[in-house]
Structure 1
């Protein structure tokens, strides 16, 4: 190893290269950048369907709570351009999908109350862009409506 003379003492020359810590920091930065790009590139129709399903679950729970509080029967119906809640005032809750490509498969109505136990019910949502992908908004009658991935 070459040495440099400093006065009467000799100091070892500094080695060139990267330390292990520097390499680990660079690898961590690359991993974070890759992960963020992966999340940014998610399929927009899948994200939109998830939003619609979560929104529907919240709306169904809201209608269910209003039905129980007022003692009035409330029923959710799927329509050609969206959905409606019978038993609630016309503008009490939204009646349109955020994405016009959202479709309901199978059962097109759900009874929401006023009884505290409503029985198992489910609504399956899909999009016209990707009909093979679907999400199920369901309850067992006791628990709140939740979003589930269909097999």
Structure 2
């Protein structure tokens, strides 16, 4: 129950921050360039810093096993979703369905989940979550680009 309440509180905090951002944007307190700057700071400074901090630890066999399991789990999840979307959308090859397949395979696993993993599982959650994000990035820049471009070369 404690984990549920921690996740719930973190999700509520994220939605409050989203609401504040929307409110400030509608009131033109935050300009489009300010929003982009804040996003860039979070994406390119805060998130990598949190990931690097999670790696600053004594490394042992169980940590390596956890990273490998997380990596393997991410591979399996992505391959299963690629297979499922290929089956579900097999009769259609237009650009809209390419977008649907891409969206079904690739969620926003880093930007939103890493803060929740940090809150629930501390540095361990971020460490193992970073493995998942690494696989996500690998697939999105290989399969994802191929899928979106329609170029099967």
TM (norm. structure 2) is: 0.31
Whichever structure has more strand as a proportion of its residues is 1
Q: State which structure, 1 or 2, has the greater radius of gyration over its C-alpha atoms.
A: 1
TM (norm. structure 1) is: 0.31
Structure number with higher relative contact order (C-alpha < 8 Å, ≥ 6 residues apart): 2
